[in-house]
Amino acid sequence: MSEHIVSWKVYLVIFVLLMVGTGTTVWAAFQNFGPFNIVIALGIATIKATLVVLYFMHARYSPRRTQLVIVCSVFWLAIMLALTLADYQTRQPRESRLSPSVVSYHA
């Protein structure tokens, strides 16, 4: 396995993209997109995180098993979040404190 050296130019480009992402996040937070504010915020954060993982952390050039580790960790996190939230979302009315009305009132 010969090591892949990422050029410093790539790093700079990624850095600039991350900055743009940060700016966009802040800007979007001050707009009213209703329930989509959180979606946008997390979406951008995820893109930023992906860039860091792929380039700064060289995941793009790493062996398959490293990529597998990354996928697994995210997948397990998703299991935890999804199944727990599924319980909260489908509770009988009394427990649907999570109901969208809470959010929509503020929107």
**How many other β-carbons are positioned within 10 Å of the β-carbon of residue 48?**
19
**Residue 23 token pair:** 């700016």
Please report, for residues 26, 35, 38, 45, the alpha-carbon distance to residue 103 in angstroms, rounded to integers and kept in the order given.
Answer: 20, 7, 11, 21
The type of residue at 14 is I
Binding flag, residue 24, other proteins (CB under 8 A):
no
Taking CB under 8 A as the criterion, which residues in 73-102 touch other proteins?
73-74, 76-77, 79-81, 83-95, 97-102
One of 31, 36, 60, 61 touching other proteins (CB under 8 A): 31
- Write each residue from 42 to 61 as x if it is in contact with other proteins (CB under 8 A), else as -, in one continuous string: x-xx--xx--xx-xxx----
Reduced DSSP (H G I as helix, E B as strand, rest coil) percent helix, strand, coil of the chain, to 5: 80, 0, 20
Q: Is residue 64 within the footprint of other proteins (CB under 8 A)? A: no
Listed residue (9, 3, 12, 8) closest to 61, CA to CA: 3
Note whether 39 binds other proteins by CB under 8 A: no
Binding site for other proteins (CB under 8 A): 1, 3, 5-8, 11-12, 14-15, 18-19, 22, 25-26, 29-32, 37, 41-42, 44-45, 48-49, 52-53, 55-57, 62-63, 65-66, 69-70, 72-74, 76-77, 79-81, 83-95, 97-106
